[in-house]
Amino acid sequence: MLNYVNRVIVFIFLIALVSCSDENEKKKNKERNDKIVELSNITIGGHQEYEKIRQQALDSLNSWCNAELLSYRSICYSRTYRLDSTVCFNGEKDRMVTAISVQCNEPICKTDAVQYFYGVKITGKWYFFGGGGWTMVVLREHYQKDIHQPVSFEKLHELAMEDMLRGYIKQNEAGQWEVNDAFFTHHFEGNGWSSFERYQDTVVYGKRYTSKKEYFEDIYLRKVASKWWFQKDK
């Protein structure tokens, strides 16, 4: 009898320990997520400018979906999408990373998705384009019993913050949160993009580049323009 009681006490203790650990993790995630939004607002110059650029990005996305662009069919066709409320800006105020949550409305769908969405500011104007990198596929069975209903946008936002946008900030040696420049280098110059160091002494796209900034800006502009290239095949 005593052994049984001891086992029950140990079991209750373990449950309490796990519950406490989960609560601490949720608290840390919320603090980090709040700091992401706070630092991004400060970086870009305030909430008004933050929302202005986010609206420009959303207007662009909506217009492309209304035009039924083939390059955005994974977001627009038989889908419901939402541009994330969290938008991450770099210290130079010329690069932006956010996410698009996508619910699939087809009867056969058992997954939804979250995709990266980027913005760059070139000669005073913002340009936006879909991320060519990693897309998070969300299996419905991992988050709900009914696999025929899309995962909620609230949950997709939570997953985007945890798995896609958390790298926007880092803690410095003093334990203070700050913008992580490596986050933007990875997304705008990392794998999947061309290498300036490799091509700077050669002619690319009919031009010889001596400026890394100019080199990548031309690549981004080509990326922006490419969404219209195959419309005739629609």
pTM (2 d.p.): 0.85
How far is the C-alpha of 8 from the C-alpha of 4, rounded, in Å? 6
The residue-averaged pLDDT of 70-75 equals: 90
Query: 92-103 pLDDT, tens per residue?
Result: 999 999 999 999
For residue 162, is it within any domain?
Answer: yes
For residue 221, is it within any domain?
Answer: no
For residue 74, is it within any domain?
Answer: yes
Q: What is the DSSP string of 102-171?
A: EEE-STT--EEEEEEEEEEEETTEEEEEEEEEEEEEEEGGGT-S-TTSPPPHHHHHHHHHHHTSGGGEEE
For residue 60, is it within any domain?
Answer: yes
For residue 10, is it within any domain?
Answer: yes
Domain limits at 46?
Answer: 2-166
Query: 176-219 pLDDT, tens per residue?
Result: 999 999 999 999 997 677 777 666 655 566 677 778 888 889 88
Task: Supply φ then ψ for residue 61, to 5 degrees.
Answer: -60, -45
In the chain, the number of structural domains is 1
* CB-count exposure of residue 111 (10 Å: 0-12, 13-18, 19+): middle
For residue 196, is it within any domain?
Answer: no
Query: 146-172 pLDDT, tens per residue?
Result: 999 999 999 999 999 999 999 999 999
